[in-house]
Chains A and B, each alone.
Chain A
């Protein structure tokens, strides 16, 4: 899929681009926003806050059972102690996957998502198909991510309708008993923490380390 920049210099700006530019210009002129603040906000969410935070939390939970129990009991407190605090992470709950029960997170009404640990949500999470189908046909949704659960595994879907934000604690992959927190983090994908995929297996890292 092609992204911006590639065609910006040859095509005139779209009506949408002009509409946004006009609004920004007006807000700057009226003193309602500052351009250095806009840049700082973009920098924060494009480069600083992201799923590495969540992967750290998950790897710690896999490594330390006391941490894991505390995290499941009061994720807001435990995650804030790691410094992952702020907007769209004010009230956190961690839900744990097991062989018997798989958790999946959605926001059917808008796009609620734990920004402090996962960053901004991907396009598909905010899209109408995911919001519509995650609650009613989660098995089919998981299959579209290549995730095929045994029929015996119960699927529990969390619809984030309030200001609680949910993070899935994936199952720890086999064969990682002697791995460090730093190594384990590499197995924790964003999609696994939403619940649409499992954590990566050690062999996945060898095959396609991004």
Chain B
């Protein structure tokens, strides 16, 4: 989705203005603690995956997304998921059981690995030139706009991983995942400050490119 969340290379957003890491608190307000914990705890009910969660945060008016603080976007995403999954309607509560603290600790320690069994040989090999397809569409994707149409080189193959474009629709799907290396010049022109940018991209985002591309 070509939304406000896709920020790579955007201008006029101002300085970084970091707080010192020795004094910045983990949470700045009590409500941020609550939103963080509510998001993780409701996620443990297993009614959505991380890509659905990201997509719910992205699907906001761009002005709203950019004006919100980070945890306001989490809150907006959580409210949307709960509404779309109809989890707050009156007679739905008996269908789900809240995780206990022990169960939550186990789930957090286990995480959610996204690696999956290989289904066939990968289409690309390390060192091969590839171009990122133009993918403008309304759904969730993890191919940033700033790299679409640009040519790079396969730097690493990571095996098969859950494919976000399908998983954001609740579908179980995996594709080969690569780290693709782009020169700074190919992305930003001759005055690029970055020598190289490495981006993790799934096979359906990529097409073969010629060596002189």
Closest CB-CB distance, B25 to chain A, in whole Å?
A: 6
Cβ–Cβ contact B22 & A210, under 8 A: yes
Q: Which of B181-198 contact A (CB under 8 A)?
A: 184, 187-188, 192-198
Given known A24-B34, A27-B42, A126-B70, contact A157–B16 (CB-CB < 8 A): no
Q: Which residues on the B side are within 8 Å of A34 (C-beta)? A: 41, 98-101
Chain A's closest residue to B97 (CB) is: A31
Cβ–Cβ contact A109 & B13, under 8 A: no
In the complex, per-residue mask of B1-45: 1 if CB is within 8 Å of any chain A CB, else 0: 000011111110111111101101111111101111110111001
In the complex, per-residue mask of A126-170: 1 if CB is within 8 Å of any chain B CB, else 0: 111111110111111100110000000011111111111000000
Decide if A23 is an interface residue (CB 8 Å cutoff): yes
Decide if B121 is an interface residue (CB 8 Å cutoff): no
Q: Which residues on the A side are within 8 Å of B87 (C-beta)? A: 30, 32
Cβ–Cβ contact A42 & B36, under 8 A: yes
For chain B, the bracket of interface size reads 35 or more
Q: For the complex, what is the distance from the CA of A49 to the CA of B43, rounded to whole Å?
A: 19
Query: B19 touches which one: A124, A128, A138 (CB < 8 A)?
Result: A124
Query: A108 touches which one: B6, B29, B158, B161 (CB < 8 A)?
Result: B6
Decide if A190 is an interface residue (CB 8 Å cutoff): yes
Q: Which residues on the A side are within 8 Å of B119 (C-beta)? A: none
Cβ–Cβ contact A41 & B8, under 8 A: no
Decide if A81 is an interface residue (CB 8 Å cutoff): no
Cβ–Cβ contact A40 & B105, under 8 A: yes
Cβ–Cβ contact A159 & B197, under 8 A: yes
Chain B's closest residue to A14 (CB) is: B31
Cβ–Cβ contact A38 & B142, under 8 A: no
Q: For the complex, what is the distance from the CA of A43 to the CA of B79, rounded to whole Å?
A: 23
Q: For the complex, what is the distance from the CA of A127 to the CA of B17, rounded to whole Å?
A: 10
In the complex, per-residue mask of A14-47: 1 if CB is within 8 Å of any chain B CB, else 0: 0011011101101100111110111111101110
Q: Which residues on the B side are within 8 Å of A21 (C-beta)? A: 31, 34
Query: A135 touches which one: B13, B72, B112, B197 (CB < 8 A)?
Result: B197
Cβ–Cβ contact B111 & A89, under 8 A: yes
Decide if A195 is an interface residue (CB 8 Å cutoff): no
Q: Which of B82-114 contact A (CB under 8 A)?
A: 87-88, 92-93, 96-101, 103-105, 107-114
Q: A135-B194, A136-B192, A155-B196 are in contact. List 20 more A-B contacts (CB 8 A).
A: A4-B30, A24-B38, A30-B92, A31-B98, A41-B36, A45-B36, A87-B111, A108-B144, A108-B146, A123-B28, A124-B18, A128-B13, A130-B16, A132-B9, A133-B16, A154-B195, A155-B184, A156-B195, A164-B177, A164-B179
The 7 closest A-B pairs by CB, nearest first: A108-B8, A162-B200, A154-B195, A210-B22, A40-B101, A139-B193, A124-B18
| B-to-A contact residues, CB < 8 Å | 5-11, 13-19, 21-22, 24-31, 33-38, 40-42, 45, 50, 54, 57, 66, 70, 72, 75, 78-79, 87-88, 92-93, 96-101, 103-105, 107-115, 142-144, 146, 158, 161-162, 164, 177, 179, 184, 187-188, 192-202
| A-to-B contact residues, CB < 8 Å | 1, 3-4, 8, 16-17, 19-21, 23-24, 26-27, 30-34, 36-42, 44-46, 51, 85-91, 101, 108-111, 119-120, 122-124, 126-133, 135-141, 144-145, 154-164, 189-191, 196, 210
List 28 contacting pairs A-B, 8 Å CB cutoff, sorted by A. A20-B31, A21-B31, A24-B38, A27-B42, A31-B97, A40-B101, A41-B108, A89-B111, A91-B115, A108-B146, A110-B5, A111-B70, A124-B16, A132-B7, A132-B8, A136-B188, A145-B16, A154-B195, A156-B195, A156-B197, A158-B198, A161-B201, A162-B161, A162-B200, A163-B114, A163-B161, A164-B179, A189-B21
